[in-house]
Amino acid sequence: MDTSSHHFSRLVTADRLSDIVGRKRLKASLHGVGMWLTAASETTGASGKLHRNAVYHQDGRVTWLYPNSNTGELISAMLDLGFVLEDTSWTDAASAYADALLDDSVHGLYRGERLEAHGLAWYWTDAGTYTGGYSMRMPAHFFRLYEATGNQRYLDACDWIGRTMLDRQLESGLVTAAWNPQDGWMPEPRMGSRYMYPLATFATLWKVTGDAKYLSAYERALPTVLAMQNEDGSFFQCYDPMTGTAVDDSIKFHFYAYILNALEEAFTITKDDRILNCAVRLADHLAGVFYYRHTVPYCGGNVASPTDQTEADSTMQDSCAGLLWLAKLKGQSVYRDIASKLLIEAMVHQLPVTADDGWAGALLRGVNSSLDGTIAGVPSNRRHLNYDPTLIARCDLWCVVNHIRACRRLLDESCS
């Protein structure tokens, strides 16, 4: 074993676990999450809609939340399911979800009278606001669906999302795009995970359109984003979009999945070594966290946000796909070791396909049972965090789509 290639190389043991993440188990897990996605869609009662969260009660009830999930990554996740499970109905499901985004100009992507806001996504909390944060994550997946189906409307969607994002780019290179029809553009003194997405979005739009404006927008954003990375490779949770300076000192490891996904998207197109170096430094920071805790928490550092305090110590496995990308690209066994163990952690807590409807196939996340009430300051529209003594677990769409991506990645590698 090569013990000099990485600080944690001597801790790699995933080669002993290959049977646990073998093809049969990975496909079975994907079959399970496919059942959960089907339930999450059918319970909305609307074509192309899909709930973002399910919360589970001790008495067997399931409470489904946020039918306007508006998660672009789900399009690719469904295409991946169709490929792995050899089931073309998932391509139809991906198209139905994308069509619902485009057809519902109120609760999907805005296409109303206010042209300056076209392409903004309705925010999943159903509080009446739109966000560019979710829109920025969509072009890559619309383009993939366009390549799979030849449907021009998915390519057109990339264009009108892109034009709005260009208009909203700040001098810092970052993008702010919070809006509602009553107040227009709203100030954003702090921004979370989407601070990385100008790199991915503008790179993808440059690829899709060939328009040099998008490459220039990418180059404008890059220095600011790189300067935001801490010396140890970490990123803080929130930054001032005007300056790129941190506005708190918490670290949301959950956001690392968004960051790694965005860096992969940007690097795949640009082959920019500055992007790759940023990703490697981030993964090395995550490695230090993992080999200390043997898991990855939702949040760390000085966690001041009441919303984050509710679930800060819960565990996350959503960075697996990004780590597997880097493991293959860099030939680094440490990243594969972490990803494999996190994936096993997710599958250990996945409910069987024989469970009740809505429970079957769910990737469970824990609920903080030490609380005796909703923490003061948690917004009322974050219903999945509201206290209820009967709650015992939940399943989140974001975890599911990243699980699918990671499983597909391991399955592809096992065939190569």
* pLDDT at residue 176 is higher than 60: yes
Beta strands in 293-346 (DSSP E): 300-301
pLDDT of residue 131: 96
Residue 17's pLDDT band (cuts 50, 70, 90): confident
DSSP letter for each residue of 235-265: --S-B-TTT--BS--EE-HHHHHHHHHHHHH
336, 277 Cβ separation under 8 angstroms = no
Average pLDDT for 395-403: 98
Euclidean distance between CA atoms 13 and 9, whole angstroms: 9
Whether 89 is in a domain gets the answer yes
* pLDDT at residue 2 is higher than 50: no
pLDDT of residue 14: 83
Phi, psi for residue 324 in degrees, rounded to 5 = -65, -35
State percent of the chain over pLDDT 90. Answer: 94
pLDDT tens digit string along 180-211?
Answer: 999 999 999 999 988 999 999 999 999 999 99
Q: How many CB atoms are closer than 10 A to CB 92?
A: 13
Whether 91 is in a domain gets the answer yes
* pLDDT at residue 154 is higher than 60: yes
pLDDT tens digit string along 126-147?
Answer: 999 999 999 999 999 999 999 9
Euclidean distance between CA atoms 49 and 66, whole angstroms: 10
Whether 124 is in a domain gets the answer yes
Q: How many CB atoms are closer than 10 A to CB 250?
A: 18
What are the distances in angstroms from CA 93 to CA 41, 89, 345, 361, 396?
A: 10, 6, 28, 18, 19
Average pLDDT for 51-70: 98
| 3-class secondary structure, 54 | strand
Whether 222 is in a domain gets the answer no
pLDDT of residue 178: 96
Q: Report which of 117, 96, 125 is spatially closest to residue 307, judged by C-alpha positions.
A: 125
Euclidean distance between CA atoms 195 and 197, whole angstroms: 6
Average pLDDT for 236-240: 97
Whether 357 is in a domain gets the answer no
Q: What residues make up the domain containing 102?
A: 71-106+109-188
Q: How many CB atoms are closer than 10 A to CB 389?
A: 11
212, 233 Cβ separation under 8 angstroms = no
Q: Report which of 209, 115, 105 is spatially closest to residue 155, judged by C-alpha positions.
A: 209
Whether 93 is in a domain gets the answer yes
pLDDT of residue 416: 67
State percent of the chain over pLDDT 70. Answer: 99
pTM of model > 0.85: yes
Token pair in block for residue 138: 């969509």
Q: How many CB atoms are closer than 10 A to CB 370?
A: 5
Whether 42 is in a domain gets the answer no
* pLDDT at residue 16 is higher than 50: yes
Number of domain units in the chain: 1
pLDDT of residue 1: 41
Phi, psi for residue 52 in degrees, rounded to 5 = -85, -35
Whether 121 is in a domain gets the answer yes
